[in-house]
Amino acid sequence: MLEQQTSPLGDAKRSRDSSLQINKLLQLMVDKGASDLHIAVPSSPILRIQGELITQDDLPPVSQEDAASIFEQITTEEQKATFRKTLELDFAYSVPGLSRFRVNALQQRGSVGLAFRFVPFRIPSIDELALPQICKKLILKPKGLILITGPAGSGKSTTLAAMLNHLNQTEKRNVITIEDPIEFLFSNNKCIIQQRELGYDARSFYDALVHALRHDLDVIVIGEMRDLPTISTAITAAETHSLVLGTMHTNDASQSIDRMIDIFPSGQQQQIRLQLSQVLEAVLSQALLPRIAGGRIAAFEILLATAGIKRLIRDDKAYEIPANLEHGASEGKQTMDQALADLVTKNIVTKEEALAKSSNPAKFNELIR
């Protein structure tokens, strides 16, 4: 006999005096230095601290009514309607004086599941995040394509924000971002920065990108490059007059290049290889690790589009890219395993944490020896 399930939005009451009031939970999240807060029936609220999920056992388990009430508190009528239609939703939520949060809502077992990602009001600098110094040079490029890649939760948005912040303090450029949702909020300094959010300011990445190109554009940031029209238009934009920055959910440089090319029909792929080899400036693939001293740090595989890399892309030899990076330290390139080994050698992260992020454990062990 199937269990009867109520609507996740139900007739929830706004229990503002409850210990599960969302703003209190978000305050707890910030106080404990958590990167994420998870609300999932029937568990107590769960925080991700230093990469580890920690159940808050001193708080009561979340009921269907609690989850629905929290969702009701933080969404607009339009957002509620979208959720009822699609059963999932991405949006941003701000608590004045505390922080911004990126929120993902989904339906699970007839109830609402929520994940909150901490987004500070102040944008950290490249140096504060210990990002590669090449980031400062790349963001000042007049045109071309820069990819920031990595799995979900690896810090891609933060890296992009730090690079844009550096540009905003350094050069006069017209910048448009297309995000889903908007995370870091920018104020104009030297740059004009206009931020468009999918679903509210734009209908799709592709449509927003096409119209942005008519806006006297210098730099465009694409929150996620995930379909053929968006990738094709981004390459064309980088080829003509704009610096294009985009993110992809890929683990390394060679996989990112293959993903971009494979999305095109086979008859177009050789032409795309040629175009990509001409416009690509860099691929920064990152992984996030806990520091021994507390906090987290990103490790980076760095592909810079040297003549050798461009030739490998044109000749459909992306599988040879790791070897090229491994021997390209003098040009500023490095593999992920080299980056991880460096962090271990400098006693910034543990060998065990680094090994978990390694794509080639044998090579990694050789490097730290």
**CA-CA distance, 363 to 339, in Å (whole number)?**
12
Residue 113 DSSP label: E
Which CATH number fits the domain that encloses residue 255?
3.40.50.300
Domain edge (last residue) among 62, 88, 119: 119
- Tens-place pLDDT, residues 190-209: 999 999 998 889 889 999 99
The answer to whether residue 115 is domain-embedded is: yes
- Whether the predicted pLDDT of 13 surpasses 60: no
Q: Are residue 104 and residue 239 in the same domain, yes or no?
A: no
The answer to whether residue 5 is domain-embedded is: no
Q: Are residue 144 and residue 114 in the same domain, yes or no?
A: no
Q: Are residue 77 and residue 39 in the same domain, yes or no?
A: yes
- State the pLDDT at residue 12: 41
Q: Are residue 88 and residue 224 in the same domain, yes or no?
A: no
- State the pLDDT at residue 214: 87
Q: Looking at beta carbons, which pairs linking 11-19 to residues 24 or more positions away fall under 8 Å?
A: 12/65, 12/68, 12/69, 12/71, 12/72, 13/65, 13/69, 14/69, 14/72, 14/73, 15/65, 15/66, 15/69, 16/73, 18/66, 18/69, 19/59, 19/60
User: What is the number of structural domains in the chain?
Assistant: 2
- State the pLDDT at residue 50: 86
Q: Is the peptide bond before 181 cis (omega within 30 degrees of 0)?
A: yes
Mean of the pLDDT values across residues 289-303? 95
Handedness of CA 46, 125, 250, 198 (dihedral sign): positive
224 by Cβ neighbours in 10 Å (0-12 / 13-18 / 19+) ranks as middle
- State the pLDDT at residue 2: 33
Q: Are residue 278 and residue 351 in the same domain, yes or no?
A: yes
The answer to whether residue 124 is domain-embedded is: no
- State the pLDDT at residue 65: 95
Question: Contact 144/67 with Cβ under 8 angstroms?
Answer: no
The answer to whether residue 128 is domain-embedded is: no
Task: State pTM to two decimals.
Answer: 0.88
Mean of the pLDDT values across residues 103-122? 95
- Whether the predicted pLDDT of 113 surpasses 50: yes
**Three-state secondary structure call for residue 89:** strand
- State the pLDDT at residue 20: 73
Neighbour tally for 31: CB within 10 Å:
9
Q: Are residue 88 and residue 190 in the same domain, yes or no?
A: no
- State the pLDDT at residue 102: 96
Which CATH number fits the domain that encloses residue 40?
3.30.450.90
245 by Cβ neighbours in 10 Å (0-12 / 13-18 / 19+) ranks as buried
Domain edge (last residue) among 119, 142, 175: 119
Mean of the pLDDT values across residues 301-329? 96
- Whether the predicted pLDDT of 346 surpasses 60: yes
Q: What is the dihedral of CA 90, 92, 93, 97, to 10 degrees?
A: 160
The answer to whether residue 125 is domain-embedded is: no
CA distances from 51 to 41, 66, 77, 96, 153 (A): 21, 26, 34, 26, 10
Q: Enumerate residues 6+ apart whose C-beta is below 8 A from 112.
A: 8, 9, 39, 41, 64, 67, 68, 70, 71, 105, 106
Question: Contact 184/157 with Cβ under 8 angstroms?
Answer: yes
The answer to whether residue 29 is domain-embedded is: yes
The answer to whether residue 221 is domain-embedded is: yes
- Tens-place pLDDT, residues 230-280: 999 999 999 987 999 999 999 999 999 999 999 999 999 999 999 999 999
Mean of the pLDDT values across residues 69-96? 94
- Whether the predicted pLDDT of 133 surpasses 90: yes
DSSP letters for 248-278: E--SSHHHHHHHHHHTS-GGGHHHHHHHHHH
- State the pLDDT at residue 37: 98
Q: Are residue 96 and residue 143 in the same domain, yes or no?
A: no
Residue 210: domain span: 134-368
Q: Are residue 288 and residue 335 in the same domain, yes or no?
A: yes
Neighbour tally for 115: CB within 10 Å:
19
- State the pLDDT at residue 14: 39
- State the pLDDT at residue 241: 76
- Whether the predicted pLDDT of 167 surpasses 90: yes
Which phi and psi angles does 51 have, rounded to 5°? 85, -5
Q: Are residue 84 and residue 149 in the same domain, yes or no?
A: no
Mean of the pLDDT values across residues 125-152? 97
Strands 144-149 and 280-290: parallel
Quote the tokens at residue 233.
């238009």
- State the pLDDT at residue 200: 85
Q: Are residue 296 and residue 246 in the same domain, yes or no?
A: yes
Burial 194-211 (b: 16+ CB within 10 A, else e): bbbbbeeebeebbebbee
Rounded to the nearest integer, the mean pLDDT of the chain is 92
Mean of the pLDDT values across residues 51-77? 95
Neighbour tally for 177: CB within 10 Å:
24
- State the pLDDT at residue 7: 41
- Whether the predicted pLDDT of 34 surpasses 80: yes
Q: Angle, to 10 degrees, between the axis of helix 269-279 and the axis of helix 228-240?
A: 40
The answer to whether residue 15 is domain-embedded is: no
Q: Are residue 251 and residue 106 in the same domain, yes or no?
A: no
Domain edge (last residue) among 58, 85, 119: 119
Mean of the pLDDT values across residues 294-300? 94
Confidence of residue 51 (pLDDT cuts 50, 70, 90): confident
- Whether the predicted pLDDT of 19 surpasses 60: no
- State the pLDDT at residue 195: 97
Q: Are residue 284 and residue 176 in the same domain, yes or no?
A: yes
Confidence of residue 342 (pLDDT cuts 50, 70, 90): very high
- Whether the predicted pLDDT of 173 surpasses 70: yes
